Amino acid sequence: MKTTYLDFEQPIAELEAKIESLTEMTESGVDVSGEVTQLRKKSAALSKSIYSKLNAWQISQVARHPQRPYTLDIIAALFTEFEELHGDRAYADDPAIVGGMARFEGAPVMVIGHQKGRDTKERQYRNFGMPRPEGYRKALRLMRLAEKFQVPVLTFIDTPGAYPGIDAEERGQSEAIARNLYVMAELKTPIICTVVGEGGSGGALAIGVGDVVQMLQYATYSVISPEGCASILWKDAGKASMAAEALSITAAKLKPLGLVDQVVPEPLGGAHRDLDMAMENLRQSLRGALSLVGESSLPQLLNRRYERLMSYGKFKESRRA
Amino acid sequence: MSWFQKIIRPKIQRRETRKTVPEGLWSKCPACDEVLYSADLDNNAHVCPKCGYHHRIGARRRLDTFLDEAGRSEIGQTVAPVDTLKFKDSRKYADRMTEAAKATNEKDALVVMEGTVHGVPVVVAAFEFRYMGGSMGSVVGERFVRGVDAAIKGKKAFVCFSASGGARMQEGLLSLMQMAKTSAALTQLSARRQPFISVLTDPTMGGVSASFAMLGDVIVGEPNALIGFAGPRVIEQTVRQTLPEGFQRSEFLVEHGAVDRIIDRREMRRELALLIAQLQRRKSPVLE
């Protein structure tokens, strides 16, 4: 598949186009392989220099890259025997969240994640990865199933946010999200959450409470989208890049705040540029997280999960009222 | 002064300055346009005596109208906000905090108190909407949790009056995590079979609505309060339809099964005292 380049990657795109046309020449009998090698080096160096100083807004472009691996890609790469399970048993099946049993390195697990679409039709079908209440209730049902059969839950987060629609409100979007937060806080089985793309607000957190929370290097996690924040606080959605910076939405910013345990490194240029490497890194971090939670008894685990939730927040304590 | 008055000074002197009406003595009801004497409004729990419209009400006033007078004590007032992210939009978060503190005389958007309602012991949290739109940041989350802890310790019911636009953007993801923190605290209250009554007042939106506010054992709405996850404007922009009449109002939520019932603010003390006593299998409170 041809790589799609983001705006700030245009210099790389131009070099890559040149390399491609030269490669075609080589195929037609003219030997320019020397130049191609030169250009490849140049392109790699350019990527490195651009990616070494990405700002928050550019990182959110990478997190939303149309070729970014989605939950079903991750399942295909890292899991076997995926048995997808559908529906909330009350209203409908929501294609914006997928889930089911699978095996990770041979062991049964429950996998749940947001799912975006690749082409226009699928994007619409998946509602751009924006779940409705039935999506969160499906996730909840599957988590309860995992608890019952004592298998760990692995969630993959990648959503612009919960769907802001009339029907979603009518069916209790708020309650669906709230219920998940409540249940995940006390679910009697390990939960490992990975933000793989966009961690969009409450819609992300609704499958994001767990024992280990990790983020891919170029994923973002935010209380509100940079555009939404800009339009409220700056009264101008065009100030999204300033909002992205101010909101501290990148893995590098969130780890020191103690909100993310681990950052999973991505290949140069983002996960889509070298899917194999990206998936291998993710596999290793998931393996590490699973073995970490496996070391504790369930009461210990739940206790630590609770203490961790209680530790969230920064404030000062004054002696006087 | 006319030429006539100049010759014969009137016996009855007109006072030079008109007595001005003190500011805020009168206010107009936005629902029925009735001009109301502020003291009457205040005595009526800020509900319009004419049409029943529920005016927004500050945290302290709310606690004052709800709790018995004796035996109140505040919880978590020593917890104060910090600007961890050094957040700055068109203005600095630090400046917004100073301004909000000045306007409300509060250090953050949630006030928690221990006390009784018709003799039934409770811990009550109330949002101060005028403090940055009642937004939930680290302090709101921490005070909420301390309130829940106090309820657990005292074997009391926990009541929360929500009035909030949602999570506080200026504290970034720390604010989002308060949704998880507050919801988790409620699991502990629940495990001990102590009731959580969530009262949704105008407005209860976003991250507050999508966490503890919707986790009440009983969820009560004040009349005509705006309650929802996404704001009406965002929804309208997304779906490109005009929203139905009464959408996201308490009555709409009752109709859709999301809220147990609507209680008039003037009946709140009585109704919640009776309900909490029943849930905790206490004897009926004496209503004075």
pLDDT(A274) > 80: yes
Shortest distance between the Cα of B239 and any Cα of chain A, in A, equals 6
Residue of A nearest to B82 (CA): A315
Chain A residues within 8 A of B214 when measuring between CB atoms: 172, 174-175, 178-179
Q: Considering only CB atoms, which chain B residues are within 8 Å of A235?
A: 90
Given an 8 Å threshold on Cβ–Cβ distance, is B78 in contact with A317? Answer: yes
Q: Which residues in chain A touch residue B95, judged by CB atoms under 8 angstroms apart?
A: none
Q: Worst-scoring range by mean pLDDT, A72-86, A97-111, A167-181, A222-236?
A: A222-236
Mean pLDDT of A223-242: 92
Nearest to A59 by CA among A191, A215, A212: A215
CA-CA distance, B234 to B250, in Å (whole number)?
19
Q: What percent of chain A has a predicted confidence (pLDDT) above 90? A: 88
Look at residue A82 and give its three-state secondary structure: strand
B212/A316 Cβ within 8 A: no
Residue A99 host element (H or E): strand A97-104
Looking at residue B5, its pLDDT comes to 63
Token pair for residue B280? 């905790």
> What does the alpha-carbon distance between residue B238 and residue B243 come to, in Å, rounded to a whole number?
11
* Least Cα separation, residue B190 to chain A (angstroms): 11
Query: Which chain B residues are within 8 Å of A316, Cβ to Cβ?
Result: 79-82
Q: Do A170 and B187 touch (CB under 8 A)?
A: no
Residue A108's pLDDT is: 98
Distance CA A226, CA B100 (A): 24
Cβ atoms < 10 Å from Cβ of B237: 12
Subunit contact B185:A224, Cβ cutoff 8 A: no
Q: Please state, for a pLDDT cut of 70, what percent of chain A lies above it.
A: 99
B234: CB partners within 8 A, 6+ apart:
A164, A228
Best residue of B107, B135, B176, B215 to probe chain A, by most A CBs closer than 10 Å: B176
Residue B125 touches chain A, beta carbons under 8 Å:
no
In chain B, which residue ranges form alpha helices assigned H by DSSP?
Answer: 3-7, 38-43, 59-66, 93-104, 138-153, 172-191, 206-209, 232-239, 250-255, 268-279
DSSP designation for A188: S
pLDDT in tens, A92-146: 999 999 999 999 999 999 999 999 999 999 999 999 999 999 999 999 999 999 9
Helix (DSSP H) and strand (DSSP E) numbers for chain B: 10, 11
Q: Is A273 left (phi over 0), alpha (psi -120 to 50) or beta?
A: alpha
Residue with tokens 């030079």: B16
B65 inside 8 A of chain A by CB: no
Selected residue with higher pLDDT from A169 and A25: A169
A223 and B85 within 8 Å at the Cβ level: the answer is no
Find the closest chain A residue to B145 by CA distance.
Answer: A310
**What 3-state DSSP class applies to A194?**
strand
User: How many CB atoms within 10 Å of residue B256?
Assistant: 12
> What pLDDT, on a 0 to 100 scale, did the predictor assign at position B24?
74
CA distance A21 to A35: 12
Are the beta carbons of B78 and A321 separated by less than 8 Å?
Answer: yes
Predicted pLDDT at A203: 97
Nearest to B153 by CA among B198, B179, B114: B114
The pLDDT, as a whole number, for residue B4 is 62
pLDDT of res. A314: 97
Amino acid at B282: R
Question: pLDDT value at position B25?
Answer: 84
Report the alpha-carbon distance of residue A3 to residue A296 in Å, rounded.
43
Measured distance CA(B114)–CA(B153) in Å, rounded: 12
With beta carbons less than 8 A apart as the criterion, state whether B144 and B160 touch: yes
Which is it for strands B26-28 and B35-37: parallel, antiparallel or unpaired?
Answer: antiparallel
> In whole angstroms, what is the distance from residue A321 CA to residue A316 CA?
12
Give residue A258's identity as a one-letter amino acid code. Answer: G
Taking only the tens place, the pLDDT of each residue in A12-52 is 999 999 998 888 887 777 788 888 899 999 999 999 999 98
Contact B101, A273 (CB under 8 A): no
Choose the closest CB to A165 out of B74, B238, B244.
B238
Cα–Cα distance list, B16 to B13, B19, B20 (Å) = 9, 9, 12
Measure Cα distances from B44 to B41, B54, B242, B267 in Å.
5, 10, 35, 11
- Residue contacts between A and B (CB atoms, under 8 Å): 200
Identity of residue A175 = E
Q: Which residues of A touch B258 (CB under 8 A)?
A: 172, 174-175
Q: Can you give the length of chain A in residues?
A: 321
Q: Which residues of A touch B169 (CB under 8 A)?
A: 223-224, 229, 232-233, 247
Question: Phi, psi (5° rounding) for residue B36?
Answer: -115, 145
Subunit contact A164:B206, Cβ cutoff 8 A: no
Q: How far is CA B136 from CA A86, A313, B163, B169, B250, in A?
A: 34, 11, 10, 9, 21
**Tokens coding B243:** 């929203």
- Residue at token pair 């990648």: A158
pLDDT one digit per residue (tens) for chain B, 288 residues? 566 666 777 677 666 555 555 667 888 898 999 998 989 898 999 999 999 999 999 999 999 999 999 999 999 999 999 999 999 988 999 999 999 999 999 999 999 999 999 999 999 999 999 999 999 999 999 999 999 999 999 999 999 999 999 999 999 999 999 999 999 999 999 999 999 999 999 999 999 999 999 999 999 999 999 999 999 999 998 889 899 999 999 999 999 999 999 999 999 999 999 999 999 999 999 987
- ipTM rounded to 2 decimals: 0.95
One-letter amino acid for residue A97 of the chain: I
Q: Are B206 and B164 in contact (CB under 8 A)?
A: yes
- Classify the C-alpha dihedral A51-A52-A56-A59 as positive or negative: positive
Helical segments of chain A, H only: 10-27, 33-52, 56-63, 71-78, 120-125, 133-148, 166-170, 173-186, 201-205, 226-229, 240-247, 251-254, 275-294, 298-311
Q: What are the φ and ψ backbone dihedral angles of A175, each rounded to 5 degrees?
A: -65, -40
Coil vs helix vs strand at A68: coil
